[in-house]
C-alpha cells in the first residue's frame, strides 16, 4: 500500500518507491552517518528493494529531504533503520515526525515490536514513543559486522 501524507505544511512523506532518489539516499548515508559510511551502492539498492521505504519530500519542489527504511514481516516485528534528514531540513522536527509516521503506518499490522538502534538520537525517537529496552539482558545479538558499519 502506497501512502502519501503531510508531515507539516511544507513537507510530505511517501512510501512510493518510484519517488525515492536512491543515489541521493546512498550519498547521504555514506557521507553523513556513522553507520553506513562504507556501504556500497549495490548493497544500499538491495536494502531498499527488500524494505519498506519512507521518503520525506518538500511539497513545493518535490525534492527529497529525508529517508527511513523499515525491515518487517508486517505481522510481528519491524526494525526502523537508516533514518536520515538532510542538513538543510534539520531543526524542524522532521526526524521525530518521520519516526511517528512510520509508527502510525505500521500500527494497523498489529506488530508486537518496532525496534531501532541509535547512537545519538534517543531524544528524537523518545518524542515518537520509543523507549529503552525494558529488559536489555533478554536480547541477544549475533554480530556479523559488515565493512559498511563503523560504531559511533
| pLDDT digit string, tens, across residues 54-100 | 999 999 999 999 999 999 999 999 999 999 999 999 999 999 999 99
pLDDT digits (tens, 9 = 90+) for 39-50: 999 999 999 999
Bridge partner list, 80: 70, 116
pTM: 0.91
Q: How many Å separate Cα 59 from the centre of its chain?
A: 19
Amino acid at each position: 500500500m502506497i501512502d502519501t501524507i503531510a508531515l507539516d505544511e511544507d513537507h510530505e512523506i511517501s512510501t512510493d518507491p518510484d519517488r525515492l532518489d536512491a543515489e541521493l539516499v546512498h550519498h547521504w548515508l555514506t557521507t553523513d552517518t556513522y553507520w553506513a559510511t562504507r556501504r556500497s551502492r549495490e548493497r544500499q539498492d538491495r536494502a531498499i528493494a527488500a524494505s519498506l521505504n519512507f521518503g520525506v519530500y518538500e511539497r513545493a519542489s518535490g525534492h527529497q529531504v529525508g529517508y527511513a527504511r523499515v525491515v518487517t514481516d508486517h505481522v510481528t516485528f519491524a526494525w526502523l533503520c537508516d533514518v536520515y534528514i538532510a542538513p538543510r531540513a534539520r531543526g524542524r522536527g522532521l526526524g521525530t515526525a518521520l519516526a511517528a509516521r512510520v509508527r502510525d503506518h505500521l500500527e494497523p499490522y498489529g506488530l508486537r515490536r518496532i525496534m531501532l538502534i541509535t547512537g545519538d538520537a534517543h531524544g528524537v525517537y523518545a518524542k515518537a514513543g520509543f523507549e529503552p529496552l525494558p529488559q536489555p539482558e533478554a536480547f541477544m545479538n549475533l554480530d556479523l559486522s559488515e565493512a559498511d558499519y563503523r560504531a559511533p
